[in-house]
Amino acid sequence: METNLFTNSAAAAANNTNPLQNGANATQDMFTKLLVAQIKNQDPTDPAKPESFVQQLTQLSQTEALQNLANLTSSNASVLQSMQVLAMGAQVGSDVMANVDQVQLGDTKVKGEVVLGASSTKTTLVLTGVNGVEHNIELGSKSAGAVAFALDPTALGLPPGTYKMKVVTSTGEEPPVDISGRLNSVRLGAGGAIVLNVANVGEVSPAAITAFNGKAATTSTVAAAGATSSAQ
């Protein structure tokens, strides 16, 4: 049997595993039991006025309406989350920019960018390895705006691993750092949170993504384009 995020949600609803729905049923049962107990134990010589029962039934209806609204909101949130996962999944393979405070270096170059709010006469990217050793990469004097950079681990003599990052400027500004990488996968993590796996970065939340730069052309696509051009 084929399953997906939507059929799983439907199955959970069919099995009545929604805690909000269970809470609504429990509230309704409690109201009913209290009302019956009140009717049974009232003083026959001084019975409660019908208006009081009507008021209680009205309160029960209002409570049920609020519970139903909460159930509907929860269901809509689940569907929206599933749609977000599907939308993100369609971007797998794209080059993205992620706002992060660490980078994973191997044997290939890694591109990044910082946005300066003011000109800096001395701009330094500081990488700190797991051993606590700092490596300063001088970016030089930069004007306000986007500043692109590239990290070449081989040229910089940096061994593979994960490095903390920060940018130090002459103005004291510490702008956030964006790292470029391929979106490798999308999954639902603990508690239903969406988790993205990005090359050169690792796992991040969708909020960390600052740009989608599209998918790089494959060799076969480039070859087909060249063949079409030659034919013309």
> What's the pLDDT tens digit per position in 120-159?
999 999 999 999 999 999 999 999 999 999 999 999 999 9
pLDDT score of 84 more than 90? no
CB under 8 Å, gap of 24 or more: what pairs does 150-153 form?
150/109, 150/110, 150/111, 150/112, 151/103, 151/105, 151/109, 151/110, 151/111, 151/112, 151/127, 152/109, 153/105, 153/106, 153/107, 153/108, 153/109, 153/110
What is the spatial distance between Cα 33 and Cα 31, in angstroms, rounded to a whole number? 6
* Of residues 196 and 70, more confidently modeled: 196
Q: Which two tokens stand for residue 157?
A: 């003599």
Quick one: pLDDT at residue 218? Answer: 55
pLDDT of residue 55: 73
Q: Give the whole-angstrom CA distance, residue 17 versus residue 217.
A: 45
Kindly report which listed range (93-102, 145-154, 186-195) carries the lowest average pLDDT score: 186-195
pLDDT of residue 53: 62
Q: So what's the pLDDT on residue 47?
A: 67
Distance of CA 90 to the CA centre of its chain: 15
pTM surpassing 0.75? Answer: no
- pLDDT cut 70: percent of the chain above it: 67
- Locus of tokens 């191997």: 106
- pLDDT average, residue stretch 63-79: 71
Q: Which of 132, 114, 133 is nearest to 124 (CA)?
A: 114
pLDDT at residue 193, rounded to an integer: 83
**Lowest-confidence range among 85-94, 120-129, 166-175?**
85-94
**For the purposes of burial, counting CB atoms within 10 Å of the CB of 13, is it exposed (0-12), middle (13-18) or buried (19 or more)?**
middle
Q: Is the pLDDT of residue 114 over 60?
A: yes
Name the pLDDT band for 4 (thresholds 50, 70, 90): very low
Q: Of 67 and 220, which is predicted with more confidence?
A: 67
**For all residues of the chain together, what is the average pLDDT?**
79
**pLDDT class for 188, splitting at 50, 70, 90?**
confident
The CATH architecture annotation of domain 94-214 reads Sandwich (2.60)
Give 9-53 pLDDT, tens digit per residue.
444 444 545 555 565 566 667 767 776 777 677 767 766 666 676
Q: Which two tokens stand for residue 196?
A: 């993205």
Integer angstrom CA distances of residue 98 from 26, 37, 71, 92, 219: 45, 61, 35, 14, 26
pLDDT > 50? residue 8:
no
What is the per-residue pLDDT for 96? 94
